[in-house]
């Protein structure tokens, strides 16, 4: 008979039940075999596991400042650094050349000699000629109004037979009104030689009259009428002295510098202009 009593010892394994499936035995760690006849040593209880000690989190490492570079002491007997040579001074700009001297202005040309006619008429009329000279290359005379007709006759006798232009001028003097005057200018031309001669006759502004040259130059007719109309100079001895541009009943003389334009015009027979 087979002894079915299990052997004592750690190596004995219980018989597996016939009705249970065979499971892979878990092989324990090998233990030293007991000597024969000795009871197995009591199993030491397993050492209790020490609880895990939580390690505190390491504090964040602070950045250390960068260590200053060690200064290296120069030996006392070291030679000093060579100094840089001083920069050469900038070359001075050459002085600009002197400006050429401005040539002096040429002396004015001497006036041309007076035409012989000036000396001739001066000798003939004497004090009746207030002024005489050459203006714009033309012999020019300012003649006393009392002898202007005689002077015009002498000019025509010398070939100045055509009064090409007759004009009037107003010369007011605001500072000394008594010095204001009006003037008539006759530009005479010789149709034969083409030469010119100018006669000027003046009258005070408060006594505006001159002698007419109508009897010497017939074509002075309309010229003297125009001056009478626009400047208010009366020509004594003129056969038909009346307005030629403005209406006959017009008040004032438009080319005088003291003239002020009226606000309206009313024909004769109605209210006059104001």
Name residue 150's beta-bridge partners. none
116-236: which CATH number, 3.30.565.10, 3.30.460.80, 3.40.50.620, 3.40.50.2000?
Answer: 3.30.460.80
Do residues 118 and 195 lie in contact, with contact meaning Cβ atoms separated by under 8 Å? no
- Identify whether the C-beta of residue 233 lies closer than 8 Å to the C-beta of residue 244: no
Per-domain boundaries in the chain: 116-236
- pLDDT, position 202: 97
Task: Please indicate, yes or no, whether the overall pTM of this predicted structure exceeds 0.85.
Answer: no
Check residue 14 and give its pLDDT: 47
Q: Which tokens belong to 133?
A: 């000279």
- Kindly state the greatest CA–CA separation across the chain: 205
pLDDT of 47: 52
Torsion of CA 261, 264, 265, 271, to 10 degrees: -120
The residue assigned the tokens 């007076």 is 114
Kindly give the confidence (pLDDT) of every residue in the chain, 274 residues in length, as a single tens digit, with 9 standing for 90 and above: 444 444 444 444 444 444 555 555 555 555 555 544 444 444 554 555 555 555 555 555 555 555 555 555 555 555 666 677 777 777 788 888 888 888 888 888 887 888 999 999 999 999 999 999 999 999 999 999 999 999 999 999 999 999 999 999 999 999 999 999 999 999 999 999 999 999 999 999 999 999 999 999 999 999 999 999 999 999 999 999 999 999 988 889 999 999 987 766 666 655 544 4
């Amino acid at each position: 008979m087979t002894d079915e009593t299990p052997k004592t010892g750690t190596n004995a394994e219980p018989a597996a039940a016939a009705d249970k499936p065979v499971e892979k035995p878990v092989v324990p760690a090998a233990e030293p075999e007991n000597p024969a006849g000795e009871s197995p040593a009591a199993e030491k209880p397993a050492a209790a596991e020490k609880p895990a000690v939580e390690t505190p989190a390491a504090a964040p490492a602070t950045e250390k400042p960068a260590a200053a570079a060690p200064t290296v002491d120069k030996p006392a007997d070291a030679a000093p650094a060579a100094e840089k040579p001083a920069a050469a001074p900038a070359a001075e700009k050459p002085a600009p050349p002197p400006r050429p001297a401005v040539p002096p202005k040429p002396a004015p040309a001497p006036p041309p000699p007076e035409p012989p006619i000036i000396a001739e008429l001066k000798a003939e009329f004497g004090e009746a000629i207030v002024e005489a000279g050459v203006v714009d290359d033309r012999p020019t005379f300012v003649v006393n109004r009392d002898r202007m007709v005689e002077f015009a006759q002498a000019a025509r006798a010398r070939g100045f037979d055509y009064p090409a232009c007759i004009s009037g001028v107003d010369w007011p003097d605001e500072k000394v009104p008594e010095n204001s005057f009006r003037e008539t200018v006759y530009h005479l031309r010789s149709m034969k030689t083409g030469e010119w001669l100018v006669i000027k006759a003046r009258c005070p502004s408060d006594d505006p009259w001159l002698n007419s040259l109508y009897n010497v130059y017939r074509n002075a007719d309309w010229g003297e009428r125009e001056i009478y109309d626009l400047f208010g100079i009366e020509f004594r001895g003129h056969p038909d002295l009346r307005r030629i541009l403005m209406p006959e009943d017009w008040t004032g003389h438009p080319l005088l510098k003291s003239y002020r334009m009226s606000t309206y015009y009313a024909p004769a027979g109605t209210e006059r202009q104001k």
